[in-house]
Structures are given as structure tokens and as C-alpha cells.
């Protein structure tokens, strides 16, 4: 078992390159299974969820080759229609394979997906839309057996909520369905737009890119393409909230300014300086950080739910109060227990975390409850006096290539340690 060890209290300074987006590469890897030709993806982050998606593709019969930040996916002659339970449960994004399986094989035998425990996370919007396209669904508590005996047919579908995952599932189904589909009430998250662009590069015909209504004209055969994944706005937000919390300055290269406007507003409210030029974003926090008042997450273009724990961590030492409510997931702030161990003054009620800034945090041993909550604990530890150890970092590896390394690039003293078991926090290997 590994952990992240970090000696907090340093002001941050540095330049970082923003990698490709986790939430973009995962659905695009699944969508590659729709294609009849080779797909080459560029700017692919090294993440355990990417490895898991590659394993699923291989299991389905595709060839997957990885080198540096490139990934080449060669189509399978005939695709398998079943995904083993362990791979389905390893991550939430395994659900993205459901539509490609239905399109390519006429059926999908899968179990309910795993992923961060942020709340109930049902998949009814995915299934309701697929049913409208002619999919028959047999569902038990944990197992799904879907068939499309007559293939998928285009449909007019209104999503009851602009779910990111459901929009992506229905897009993948619609691009290969017979006839026209109109998807209304779609998610406008930048990663959905990235999937639209990828599918268009493969020959799909989609109108309405970047809006809540997507019109799709089904095409029987998608070709391959070479595609560059969009930058990860949540990694960019992680760096910016780290600077806000610790003080100092950083330059982010390759981030997309347009995708980060809601994050900028919150950081500026706290007193951070942000300047953008070409593909660089510079952030500095040179004076007092002020509490951000009341913040509510919502679907894009509002403040993103994935950045909520990071913002909470950044304001733990701010002057004043920050009240953050997550409107998307019920259990977004499981990291609050770790904040409290570091002697933060915060409390969670329902979907809201209330942070009353304190002058000092104390280093501690804490456990990552989920991906972004784990990153938020590392961010809090970077501000705390003394040493902290964060365990449960397998959650963090799902979404960050090397989070400790990112903090090292910003001048923090951080690294990975090997631990004998969860009760032994003393077997320190080395700082990075």
C-alpha cells in the first residue's frame, strides 16, 4: 500500500503542463469501439481509469497500444458483448461501453458500474434514452442485460437532467442509429463537446455542438481518426486552488481559459490574481485570502462539482467563511473528516460544507475517501504545518497522473511512501 507524504507550509511557485482530461479520454476510448478503423489519441493522461478502459477494450477484442501520451486503438473484427464484473466495478466510466456494445453486437451484458461513492448515481437517464431507441432492458439489482434485436433507431429524447454520462451514452448510440435523433436537455460540459468533436472527426454528423440540443444523423460506419484530448480543467483547478490555499504563484500551460471561467470567479472573489495569455494561465495569491461566501455547484457553465472539495480545501485558512453546496451529488464532502483531523473548522450538513477559516492547520494522517476528496486532502496537507500522510491514494490515481509530483513541481516537499499496512504509517521509503 502506498501513500502520499507531504511536508506542508510552503508557498508555491512553479510552472505546470496541464494533461489531457480524464473525463474526456474515458468516453472517447469507449467510443473508439464504435469505429471500423484505427483511432490514435494524443495527450492521453496516465491514469488507472485509462488502464482499466484499455483492459475493457482488449477484453472486447480490440488491440490497444500505449506509448508516452499516445494511445492507439485498433478495432476488433468481432466484438465480445460481455464485460467481466471486476472491470465493470473498477470505475464508473465502464458504463460508457454499454452503447458501443449495443451498436456493434446488438447486446450488452454488464453489471452496474463502480466509481466514487458520491451518492446514489443511478443510470436511469441512460436506460430511458436507449429504450426510446429500441433497446430492450432486463435489469436485476446488479446486472443489466440489454438487447437491440432490430438495431438502434433514431429518436427524439428529452433528458430529465443534463447528465454528462447519459448525454455521452445517447450520443454514442445516436451516431450509429438508423435515422435522425434529437437529444434535448443535454449536458454542455466541455468533455461532452470533446466527445462530439471526436465523433465528428470519425465521420459522425452532429449539429448543435456546445448547446443543450444535439441533432444527430446516424451513420452506419464510423472511420478512424487522430484526435487530441482536451486539457483537464479539474487538474487546472487543483493547481489554482493549491496556489490560493498555500499562497505564491503558478503558470499553467495548455489549460483552456474558456472552460475555467466559473473557477476564476471563485478564486478572484477570494483575492487571487489571474491573467491569461495565449495558452498560459498565471495565478498569484500574494495577500490575504478571503472566504468566498456562498457557493453552489451546478452543471456547466456553473462552478463544477469536481472542483468543490478542492475549493473547500483552499479556503480552510481564509479570513472569513465559505459555504459550499453541491447541487449534483449528495456526498461530495466526505473529505471533511480529514480536514477536521488537520484542525480545520468545518462542518457538513446535508450537501453543504461550511468552512470557517482558521490561521493554522496541523499535519496529520488522513484517508482519501474518493478521487477529488483525496486531492483536496493533499491540498489541505500542503498548507498544514508539519508532515501529513494521505492513504487511499488509489482513488487519486484514477484521476491524477502524479499528484505528489505536481506539488513538487510547484516547490512543495512531497512524495510517495510505501506502507506495510494501513496501521503502519512509519515505513517511509523516500520523498520524491
Shortest Å distance, C-beta 77 to ligand UD1: 28
Cell of 192: 461532452
CB atoms closer than 10 angstroms to residue 131 = 14
Give kind and range of the element (H or E) at residue 111: strand 107-111
The strand pair at 214-217 and 180-184 is best described as antiparallel
Q: Which of 360, 379, 382 is nearest to 371 (CA)?
A: 379
Q: Between residues 300 and 317, which has the closer beta carbon with respect to ligand UD1?
A: 300
- Decide whether 129 or 247 has the Cβ nearer to ligand UD1: 129
* Least distance between ligand UD1 and beta carbon 141 (Å): 16
Query: Of 47 and 346, which has the nearer Cβ to ligand UD1?
Result: 47
Which runs of E-coded beta strand occur in 204-319?
205-207, 214-217, 225-228, 248-253, 273-277, 280-285, 293-297
Shortest Å distance, C-beta 277 to ligand UD1: 28
Q: How far is the CB of 45 from ligand UD1 (least distance, A)?
A: 13
CB-closest chain residue to ligand UD1:
165
The residue (of 122 and 301) whose beta carbon lies closer to ligand UD1 is: 122
Which one of 35, 52, 116, 202 is the catalytic residue? 116
Q: Which is nearer to ligand UD1, 23 or 325 (CB)?
A: 23
Cα distances (angstroms) measured from residue 204 to each of 95, 120, 132, 171, 216: 21, 33, 20, 10, 8
DSSP-based three-state secondary structure for 376: helix
Q: Minimum distance from CB of 245 to ligand UD1 (Å)?
A: 21
Active site residue 335: no
CA 409 to centroid of chain Cα atoms: 22
Give me the DSSP letters along 50-63.
Answer: HHHHHHHHHHHT-E
Site for ligand UD1, rule CB under 6 A = 23, 26, 92-93, 119-126, 161, 163-166, 187, 189, 191, 305-306, 328-329
Catalytic residue list: 116
Amino acid at each position: 500500500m502506498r501513500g502520499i507524504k507531504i511536508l506542508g507550509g510552503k508557498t508555491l511557485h512553479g510552472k505546470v503542463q496541464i494533461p489531457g482530461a480524464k473525463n474526456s479520454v474515458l468516453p472517447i476510448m469507449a467510443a473508439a469501439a464504435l469505429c471500423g478503423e484505427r483511432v490514435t489519441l494524443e495527450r492521453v493522461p496516465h491514469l488507472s481509469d485509462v488502464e482499466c478502459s484499455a483492459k475493457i477494450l482488449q477484453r472486447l477484442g480490440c488491440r490497444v497500444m500505449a506509448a508516452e501520451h499516445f494511445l492507439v486503438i485498433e478495432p476488433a473484427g468481432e466484438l465480445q458483448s460481455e464485460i467481466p464484473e471486476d472491470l465493470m466495478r473498477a470505475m464508473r466510466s465502464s458504463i460508457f461501453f454499454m452503447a458501443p456494445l449495443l451498436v456493434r453486437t446488438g447486446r450488452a451484458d454488464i453489471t452496474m458500474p463502480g466509481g466514487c461513492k458520491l451518492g446514489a448515481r443511478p443510470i436511469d437517464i441512460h436506460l430511458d434514452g436507449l429504450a426510446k431507441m429500441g433497446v430492450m432492458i432486463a435489469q436485476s439489482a446488479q446486472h443489466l442485460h440489454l438487447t437491440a434485436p432490430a438495431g438502434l433507431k433514431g429518436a427524439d429524447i428529452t433528458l430529465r437532467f443534463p447528465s454528462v454520462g447519459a448525454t455521452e451514452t445517447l450520443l454514442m448510440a445516436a451516431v450509429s442509429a438508423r435515422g435522425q435523433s434529437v437529444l434535448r436537455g443535454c449536458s454542455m460540459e466541455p468533455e461532452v463537446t470533446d466527445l462530439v468533436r471526436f465523433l465528428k472527426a470519425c465521420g459522425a454528423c452532429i449539429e448543435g455542438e456546445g448547446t443543450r440540443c444535439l441533432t444527430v444523423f446516424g451513420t452506419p460506419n464510423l472511420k478512424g481518426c487522430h484526435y487530441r484530448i482536451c486539457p483537464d480543467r479539474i487538474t487546472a483547478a487543483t493547481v489554482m486552488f493549491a496556489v490560493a490555499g498555500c499562497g505564491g504563484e503558478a503558470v499553467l500551460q495548455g489549460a483552456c481559459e474558456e472552460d475555467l471561467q466559473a473557477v476564476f470567479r471563485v478564486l478572484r472573489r477570494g483575492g487571487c490574481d489571474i491573467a491569461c495569455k495565449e495558452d498560459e494561465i498565471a495565478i498569484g495569491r500574494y495577500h490575504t485570502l478571503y472566504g468566498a461566501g456562498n457557493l453552489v455547484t451546478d452543471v456547466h457553465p456553473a462552478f463544477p462539482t469536481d472542483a468543490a472539495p478542492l475549493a473547500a480545501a483552499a479556503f480552510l485558512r481564509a479570513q472569513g467563511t465559505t459555504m459550499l453546496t453541491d447541487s449534483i451529488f449528495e456526498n461530495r464532502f466526505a473529505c471533511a473528516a480529514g480536514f477536521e483531523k488537520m484542525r480545520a473548522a468545518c462542518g457538513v450538513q446535508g450537501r453543504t460544507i461550511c468552512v470557517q477559516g482558521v490561521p493554522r492547520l496541523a499535519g496529520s494522517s488522513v484517508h482519501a475517501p474518493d478521487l477529488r476528496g483525496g486531492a483536496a486532502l493533499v491540498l489541505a496537507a500542503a498548507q498544514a504545518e508539519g508532515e501529513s500522510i494521505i492513504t487511499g491514494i488509489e482513488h487519486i490515481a484514477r484521476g491524477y497522473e502524479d499528484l505528489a509530483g505536481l506539488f513538487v513541481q510547484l516547490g512543495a516537499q512531497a512524495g510517495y511512501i510505501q506502507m506495510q499496512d494501513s496501521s503502519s504509517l512509519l515505513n517511509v521509503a523516500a520523498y520524491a
